[in-house]
Amino acid sequence: MRRIAGLLVVPLAVLLAACSSGSSGSSGASPSGTPTAAEVPSPVASASPMPTVTGNFGTKATINLPEGQPSGQFVVSTVSEGDGATVAKGDWVTVNYTAKDWTTGKDLASSYDSGGKPQLYQAGNGQLVPAFDQSVVGKKVGSRLLVVAPPAAGFGSQGSSALNVGKDDTVVFVLDLMQSVPQDSTLSGTMTEPPPTAPQVKDNGKAAPTITIPAGQAPPTELQTYVLIKGDGKEVKAGQQLVVQYTGVTWADGKQFDSSWNHGGAQALQVGTGSLIKGWDQGLVGQTVGSRVELVVPPSLGYGDQASGSIPANSTLVFVIDILEAV
* DSSP string of 210-241, one letter each residue: EEEPPTTPPPPSS-EEEEEE---SPBP-TT-E
pLDDT classification of 40: cutoffs 50, 70, 90: confident
Could you tell me what percentage of the chain is helix, strand and coil, using 3-state DSSP and rounding each to the nearest 5? 10, 30, 60
The whole-number average pLDDT for the span 16-28 is 35
Which stretch of 2-16, 69-83, 141-155, 174-188 has the lowest confidence by average pLDDT? 2-16
Q: Flag whether the pTM goes above 0.75.
A: yes
d(CA 232, CA 289): 7
Total count of residues recorded for the chain: 327
Radius of gyration of the chain (CA): 22
Q: Which residue has the higher pLDDT, 137 or 25?
A: 137
For 24-44, b/e burial (b = at least 16 CB within 10 A) is eeeeebbebbbbbeebbeebe
Contacts of 102 (CB under 8 A, 6+ apart): 51, 65, 70, 148, 169, 170, 171, 172
140-159 pLDDT per residue, tens: 999 999 999 999 999 988 89
Q: Is the pLDDT of residue 47 over 60?
A: yes
280 membership: H or E segment, kind and range: helix 278-284
pLDDT of residue 14: 54
DSSP single-letter state for residue 264 = T
The answer to whether 313 and 246 are in contact (CB under 8 A) is no
Q: Is the pLDDT of residue 226 over 70?
A: yes
The mean pLDDT of the chain is 89
263-313 pLDDT per residue, tens: 889 999 999 999 999 999 999 999 999 999 999 999 999 999 999 999 999
231-259 pLDDT per residue, tens: 999 999 999 999 999 999 999 999 999 99
